[in-house]
Amino acid sequence: MRQIHLTVNNEKYQVYCPEHITLLTLLREHLHLTGTKEGCAAGECGACTVIFNGKAANACMVLAPEANGAVVETIEGEAKDGVLSPLQQSFIEHHALQCGFCTPGMIMSARALLDANPAPTRDEIKEAMEGNLCRCTGYEPIITAIEQAAGGERGA
């Protein structure tokens, strides 16, 4: 067992957990933040994407001890005070989700992209999002949602 301090969505946490678990398990099983999904546990699908010290990361590929002292943002922190972010709103408006299982990871990858590059081109979006798999939407609506959100966020 090991004690880990971390900040998730601006809240500080202190967790006792086994050394070998991943950040994904820590979030889902220990902090009960189940918005972040597990699709493969092997860094291959992006369903578990969170923002880890400012960068998009697959939570299933981060060991819990590496998260000691880290600042993590998850899907649960994306809406503020019950109000959806423009990115979330845009996903709904552009039908960028169907089953929704990839959606939290998609939104976190897109969030990291927009934080680093507020006006990405379609190619830059594809490039940044390539690690996030979706079996339902065909990706097109997701790109549109991110493009439109970028426009909206810049305008705001």
Partner 1 sequence: MREYIGKGALRHDGIEKVTGQAEYLGDIKLNGMLYAKIKTSPYAHAQIVSIDTSKAEALPGVRAVLTGRDENVMVGLYMVDRWAMAAEKTRYYGEVVAAVAADTQEIADRAAELIEIEYMPLPPVLDVREAVKASSPQVHENSEVYDYIKGVFHPEPGRNIANRTKVRKGDVDAAFLRADVVIEHTYEQPQVFHLPLEPHGTIVQWGAGDKVKIHTSAQSPFAVRDLFAHGFQLPRSKVEVNVPYVGGGFGGKAGIHMEPLVGMLSKRCGGRPVKLIPTREEECATFPCRQGLVARVKTGATKDGKIIAEEVEYLWDGGAYADYGVNISRAGAVTACGPYDIENVKVDSVTVYTNKIFGTAYRGFGHPEVFFGIERQRDLLAKELGMCPVELRLKNLLMPGAHTITGELITEHTGRVDKCLKMVAEKLNVGQDYTPEEKAEFQKTGKYRAKAAAVLQKSPAMPTWSASSAVVHMNEDGTVHITVGGVDFGQGTYTVLQQIAAERLQIPIEKIVMAPGVNTDMSPYDWQTVASRMTVLCGNAVCEACDDLTEQLLEMGSIVLRASKHEVALGDECVYVKQNPQYSMPYSKICMGYTYENGNAIGGPIIGRGKSIAQGLTNLDPETGQGKTALDWTYGAHAIEIEVDTHTGDIRVVDMASCLDVGRVMNEAMVHGQMIGGVLQGLGTTFSEAVYYDGEGRLLTRNLTDYKIATFKDMPEKLEICCVETPQLDGPYGARGIGEHPLIAITAVIANALANATGAEMYDLPLSADRVRAALAKE
For partner 1, the closer of residues 2 and 5 by Cβ is: 2
Q: Give the C-alpha separation, 53 to 65, whole Å.
A: 14
> Which residues in 45-104 contact partner 1 (CB under 8 A)?
45, 47, 74-76, 78-79, 84, 88, 91-93, 95, 97-104
> Which residues in 91-110 contact ligand FES (CB under 6 A)?
97-102
Residue 113 has φ and ψ, to the nearest 5°, of: -65, -50
Of 109, 137, 144, 148, the residue at the interface with ligand FES (CB under 6 A) is 137
H/E segment holding residue 155: helix 140-155
For ligand FES, the closer of residues 5 and 95 by Cβ is: 95
22 binds, among partner 1, ligand FES, none (CB under 5 to 8 A by kind): none
113 binds, among ligand FES, partner 1, none (CB under 5 to 8 A by kind): none
Kindly report each contact of residues 116-120 with a partner whose C-beta sits within 8 Å and lies 24 or more positions away, as own/partner: 118/150, 118/153, 118/154, 119/150, 119/151, 119/154, 120/146, 120/147, 120/150
Strands 55-58 and 71-73: unpaired
**Closest C-alpha among 116, 2, 1, 115 to residue 69:** 2
For ligand FES, the closer of residues 18 and 100 by Cβ is: 100
Of 24, 67, 134, 149, the residue at the interface with partner 1 (CB under 8 A) is 134
- Tell me the residue type at 99: C
88 binds, among partner 1, ligand FES, none (CB under 5 to 8 A by kind): partner 1
